Amino acid sequence: MDKSEVLDFIKRRFSIYETDSWRTGNCYWFADILCDRFPGLEIYYLPAQGHFMAGDPIANQYWDIDGLHTYESLPERPISLHEIQTKDLTWFMRLLRDCKM
């Protein structure tokens, strides 16, 4: 996936005036939008931050409203939502209840 294509999508679709709404409780939905638009991405979660991102660990690219991040630039290890679902279904269901529904 071309990172400039993702950056361009973020810039074109989400104005500077709307960025705060994506930082205050809507990061799950932002990650979901990116994953829908770019099928190679998957939703990741940073537990200590309580923050969702769209990511491609093979390419070392994680995306949110602020743009591109790498594994090294993140404050903690991102965990795929799929991994959480597989390893701790209770936690997964709480995340969906609290963030998606």
pLDDT digits (tens, 9 = 90+) for 1-17: 788 999 999 888 886 66
Count structural domains, the chain: 1
pLDDT digits (tens, 9 = 90+) for 16-42: 666 677 777 789 999 999 999 999 999
Domain assignment of residue 94, given as a range: 3-100
d(CA 94, CA 36): 22
pLDDT digits (tens, 9 = 90+) for 39-66: 999 999 999 999 999 999 999 999 999 8
The pLDDT value given to residue 39: 93
pTM of the model: 0.90
Number of H helices, E strands in the chain: 5, 5
Q: What is the mean pLDDT of residues 83-90?
A: 97
